[in-house]
Amino acid sequence: MKILCNGETLELAAGIRVADYLSQLGLDASSVVVECDGKILTREEYGSHALQDGSVLELIRFVGGG
């Protein structure tokens, strides 16, 4: 299935959970916030929330800024 993550189209295994995708990327779940189809997910939801074909995912984190 295809999803749009941070503006990039990606091919992922059907039904992959957010937590599994984050660990594939090597991302510490506590360092990012996930918005899926316009809705912010709580950290507790990462393990259960399955991505769908066409899901729009935003992975956001704190960066340096003024």
Partner 1 sequence: MLTIAGRKFRSRLFGGTGKFSSPEIMKEALAASGCEMVTVALRRVDLNNPADDIMRVLDRERYLFLPNTSGARDAGEAIRLARLARASGGGEWLKLEVTPDPRTLLPDPIETLKATEELVKEGFKVLPYINADPILALRLQDAGAVAVMPLGSPIGTNQGVLTRFQIEIIIAQAQVPVIVDAGLGAPSHVAEAMEMGADAVLVNTAIAVAGDPVRMARAFAMAVEAGRIAYEAGLGAVRKDAAPSSPEDGLGFLR
Residues that bind partner 1 (CB under 8 A): 5-8, 25-28, 30-33, 35, 40, 42, 58-66
H or E stretch including 7? none
- Min dist CB 20 to partner 1, Å, is 15
Distance (Å, whole) CA 50 – CA 55: 10
Nearest residue (CB) to partner 1, 11 versus 62: 62
- Min dist CB 17 to partner 1, Å, is 17
- Min dist CB 64 to partner 1, Å, is 4
Distance (Å, whole) CA 59 – CA 66: 21
| Unique residue bearing structure tokens 């991302």 | 27
